[in-house]
Amino acid sequence: MDFDLDTEQVAFTRLVRSWVDDNYPKERCRAIEAADGVFPVDLWNDMAKAGFHGIGIDPEYGGEGGDVVTQSILARELTRNLGGLSGVWGVSSFAGGKTLSTYGTAEQKAEYLPRLARGEIRFSIAITEPSGGTDLLGAMRSRIDKVPGGWRLNGQKVWSSGANTSDYLVVLAKDHEVGRSRSALTAVLVPTTTPGLDIRRIPKLGMRSFAACEVFFDDVVVPDEMLIGVRGRGWHQLLPTLNNERIITASSALGVLDAVLEDALQYVKERQAFGKPIGQFQALQHYVADMVAWREQAELLVRRAAWLQSLDRPCGVEATLAHYVSAEYANQAADRGIQLLGGLGYSMETDMQRYWRDSRLYRIAPITGEMARNMVAEAQGLPRSF
């Protein structure tokens, strides 16, 4: 078993790192993030020029190709400087690119994937219900009904990342005509200009330039051709997208670990106290050693999960474990980084606070650490706990 990157993947890693450092150094990212609630259009467009929106999209549809391993590299290298701003790329990638590449019709692929690859359109995903959180199936109240020539949606979604600046939503809702099963869900693509659709921004702690939204559907009707995949199979179709999301989020958390370690090392080498560099203090050396160990563990889990999905092998538990461990370690490392920098770490003039705020979300979404542990335990043969 060999998780080493091949020659092309190493070259891609260097290319992305150089692009990020040249175009989006950390001080620029801090300034973008400080503009709370303003979508970074320049960042999106620059990513389009670099070809990043085409990663994971087949060249047949104008993409750059590449599997989830390549996407994982991109997420990690972007997040090292961008932090939560990397979601500008990530959400459209898995919501639109992954979903339509896997389950879209030939017509949908031809219509939407080239435009996404060029950065002309953006996607968001609307599946979480207000009373549900991780209990997605049990809490599903949004309803979809077949009507002549199309589909009618009613209900409410929450925590739909980037919905207010997206062109299309991937929506999952209960389809009672198919059956009463918890998983009898149908997925459709909804243009955000559709009458009856209302999108409201949710103020939040981190990821400030990339909004989370509530989405309300009041007799929203979309035509037949907006059906994604097979009617009533939306939940089962979504699972590969969710695994992809967990791997990408885990990769972003790994990028936070890179960033925290990078900034921590620079600071402890330069900062003087009691007549010597503070990097000479044993307690701070232990902090740095912990960060290195956390990053190594996270990297192995992320690469294994991405490797399995790239081979189309089952990876639900592996993707969940990679996400859980990477998220916990990234947030712990950022917290330690604040402690290590002292008062400077608490200042908005440095990046540790930004990494802490952004990585805190990874411990909640797309799956909470507690639910992730339940899934891992159940995979070991223990009874279902929920």
Average pLDDT, the chain: 95
Please state the domain count of the chain. Answer: 3
Answer yes or no: do 145 and 195 share one domain.
yes
Long-range contacts of 22-28 (CB under 8 A, 24+ apart): 24/81, 24/82, 25/81, 26/81, 26/259, 26/351
Among 184, 207, 232, residue at a domain's last position: 232
Same domain, 243 and 375: yes
Looking at the fold, whether 361 and 256 belong to one and the same domain comes out as yes
Are 103 and 76 members of one domain? yes
* Residues 6+ positions from 378 with CB-CB distance below 8 Å: 384, 385
Residue ending a domain, choose from 163, 197, 232:
232
Question: What's the average model confidence in pLDDT over 34-61?
Answer: 94
Would you state the pLDDT for residue 182?
Answer: 79
1 located within any domain: no
Q: Are residues 240 and 266 in the same domain?
A: yes
Q: How confident is the model at residue 35 (pLDDT cuts 50, 70, 90)?
A: confident
279 and 265 in a single domain? The answer is yes
Cα distance between residue 319 and residue 296, in whole Å: 16
Q: Is residue 386 a part of any domain in this protein? A: no
Tell me: do 284 and 372 sit in the same domain: yes
Look up residue 383 and give its amino acid: P
Write out the two tokens for 81: 């400087």
Pair 115, 128 in one domain: no
Full-model pTM: 0.95
Domain shared by 299 and 364, yes or no: yes
* pLDDT tens, position by position, 53-109: 999 999 999 999 999 999 999 999 999 999 999 999 999 998 999 999 999 999 999
Q: In which band, very low, low, confident or very high, does the pLDDT at 307 lie, cut at 50, 70 and 90?
A: very high
Range of the domain at 81: 7-122
Residue type present at position 112: Y
- Of 103, 122, 141, the residue at which a domain comes to its end is 122
